[in-house]
Amino acid sequence: MAVRYIQSCRLPTPFGVFDMHGFEESDTGKEHVALTLGSLDSDEPMLARTHSECLTGDALYSMRCDCGYQLEEALRAIAREGRGVLLYLRQEGRGIGLLNKIRAYHLQDQGADTVEANERLGFAADLRDYSMCKDMLDHLGIKSLRLMTNNPRKVNALTSYGIEITERVPLHVGRNPHNESYLNTKKSKLGHWFETHQDDDPLQS
């Protein structure tokens, strides 16, 4: 998926002053942003997160997921490191959109898990697309990543687009009584890693 660079600006946050870079998908007009901190010139792998939009978790403080917690912790980690990148991708609800996400939450209120809810609505468990990430990183001159994620599918998807990932950095935050079942389902049905060291995680140092 081709994206084109639009413009950059400074973005002061509670975690530090980032640079925000705007991108637009050529075919759909969908907009994405990258937040960067520190030098982009080094060939050293950059601490990174690709974060899919979650309005309920990122902006409305929902405790049904761990998305908002992960977003904040990723920005904190980048600030501590003094150098890093966060790609914020506009694909709400694992790609099904906000209103369908609300429908899925309703089904979860009736007892479905997060995967069953998507499937009952006629969607795959995860429709997210990471193909735009390569163009965004190429524009920024970022060659390799130390990726903050618990999701093996994300690692596989990014590497399939030619993005070099030298290390997988666990991101375990935000577990609470409201998302316990959600996180357990991500582990049991989607294969997410939730232990610090995993034998089947080839990137875990």
Digit-coded pLDDT (tens) for 102-161: 999 999 999 998 899 999 999 988 888 999 999 999 999 999 999 999 988 899 999 999
- Per the domain annotation, does 114 fall within a domain? no
Strands (E) in the chain, as ranges, are 3-13, 16-25, 31-37, 46-52, 84-89, 144-148, 164-169
Q: How many domains does the chain have?
A: 1
What pLDDT does 132 receive? Answer: 93
- Per the domain annotation, does 11 fall within a domain? yes
128 is catalytic: yes
The band of 49, judged by pLDDT with boundaries at 50, 70 and 90, is: very high
- Per the domain annotation, does 115 fall within a domain? no
The reply, when asked if residue 149 is annotated as ligand binding, is yes
- Per the domain annotation, does 156 fall within a domain? yes
**pLDDT, tens digit (0-9, with 9 covering 90-100), for 5-32:** 999 999 999 999 999 999 999 888 999 9
Catalytic one of 58, 66, 126, 135: 126
- Per the domain annotation, does 171 fall within a domain? yes
pTM of the prediction? 0.90
Over pLDDT 70: what percentage of the chain? Answer: 94
CATH of the domain at 28: 3.40.50.10990
90 is catalytic: no
- Per the domain annotation, does 102 fall within a domain? no
Catalytic one of 58, 66, 128, 168: 128
Look over the chain and give the mean of its residue pLDDT values, rounded to a whole number: 90
- Per the domain annotation, does 86 fall within a domain? yes
Q: Which domain holds residue 43?
A: 3-91+128-190
- Per the domain annotation, does 159 fall within a domain? yes
Would the pLDDT of 205 be above 70? no
The reply, when asked if residue 50 is annotated as ligand binding, is yes
**pLDDT, tens digit (0-9, with 9 covering 90-100), for 148-158:** 999 888 999 99
Using alpha carbons only, give the angle 16, 171, 42 rounded to the nearest 5 degrees.
55
